Amino acid sequence: MSKRLMKGNEAIIHGALTGGATHFFGYPITPASEIAHAAAQYFTLAGRTFLQAESEVSSINMLYGAASAGARVMTASSGPGIALMAEGLSYMAGAELPCVVVDVQRAGPGLGNIWPEQSDYNMVIKGGGHGNYRNIVLAPNSALEMFEFTRTAFALADAYRMTVFILSDAYIGQMMEAIDISGEMLKGERKPWALYGDRNSRNNLITSILMNPELQQRHNEKLQHKYREVEKQCISFEQVLTEDAEVIFVAFGISSRICMSALRALRARGIRAGMLRPKTLYPFPGEALASLAAGGGRTFIVVELNDGMMADDVRLAVGSEPMLLRYNWLGGVVPTVDEIVQRTLQDLQKEA
């Protein structure tokens, strides 16, 4: 327990171990490879289980098996690997198996390149696999939050019997920052629904197949009720100088850090800029955005490294009236602070 300089990807593993993770199954892929490397070292030293799978398809199915036996399980990958896990993620949602999955996003589609994008937004937040299911999605913007969010993710996964995603990007995964590895070592408790190979769990059944349509409907209704509870209980976001803001940035991950510097530069020029940063992308802080839009007269600028995926959710939240600008960069290109500032000034001048 100490303050250390480390990459966000390595901080993930320290957060997992202090959060009570027992098993890591994974397959390395840039820009997430350091997560598997750190897990191989630190899970082993801590007496936990690390196993490199032969593929991402194998790793997600290993999570299914170990989670069924009550383990606190995790894996990590980037967009191409997460896409391969889609079927297993759907199976885990259907069987209500808790797990933690880290996605350190890279540019696509296809193999793309190893530079940062935020284009896995729809795949992770809207589903990815088949069926009516949801994942809790946490969006860190620093190495410290990579540690903290992963540490708490296992408790969330167990509480709701859901997959919890850590949706990061190549910059947040690769940047090095000082973090304080502290806090009580957490651990999971025996799960009454899991299969432990003993008398008390003999009658437990883990499955995602219900051949009777009425039973399948009731199961889906049960899942939807759980998701509504998650939407009430798990929303988290940060507001920066929104009280008097005439311009409100909405951004997550590395985009939010750039926007933080941009809003300060705009304030120095007399433009009252603020920011709402979702820490949870599901559940999405739609009510908070709607409240900011209710006063009228504000411009919302959604900054993201994709073609406007989160901007669609922001538009649904704020309604049709407020001005909503989409600032998008693709292919691994990341904007500078000055680019955002100059674009904002130009757009505000057009509005005037």
Residues 216 and 249 in one domain: no
Residues 182 and 299 in one domain: no
Max CA distance (Å), the chain: 73
Q: Does residue 94 have a pLDDT over 80?
A: yes
Among 180, 202, 233, which residue terminates a domain? 233
Residues 138 and 161 in one domain: yes
Residues 107 and 217 in one domain: yes
110-139 confidence digits (pLDDT tens): 999 999 999 999 999 997 899 999 999 999
The CATH number linked to 319 is 3.40.50.920
d(CA 333, CA 255): 11
Q: Report how many domains make up the chain.
A: 2
Residues 200 and 164 in one domain: yes
- pTM (predicted TM-score): 0.97
Residues 31 and 167 in one domain: yes
Residues 246 and 226 in one domain: no
Residues 25 and 160 in one domain: yes
Residues 125 and 254 in one domain: no
Confidence of residue 184 (pLDDT cuts 50, 70, 90): confident
SS3 of residue 42 by DSSP: helix
Query: Six-digit token pair at 162?
Result: 């859901």
SS3 of residue 5 by DSSP: strand
Residues 302 and 213 in one domain: no
Q: Annotate 221-254 with DSSP letters as a single string.
A: HHHHHHHHHHHHH---EEEES-TT-SEEEE--HH
Instruction: Give me the mean pLDDT over the 301-325 stretch.
Output: 97
Residues 38 and 152 in one domain: yes
What backbone phi and psi angles, to 5 degrees, belong to 168? -115, -165
Instruction: Give me the mean pLDDT over the 328-341 stretch.
Output: 98
pLDDT, residue 2, reads 77
239-273 confidence digits (pLDDT tens): 999 999 999 999 999 999 999 999 999 999 999 99
Among 233, 263, 288, which residue terminates a domain? 233
Among 210, 233, 256, which residue terminates a domain? 233
Residues 273 and 229 in one domain: no
Q: Are 93 and 131 in contact (CB under 8 A)?
A: yes
Write the CB contacts of 212 (distance below 8 Å, at least 6 apart in sequence). Answer: none
Domain of 344 in residue numbering reads as 238-351
The CATH number linked to 35 is 3.40.50.970
Instruction: Give me the mean pLDDT over the 161-173 stretch.
Output: 98
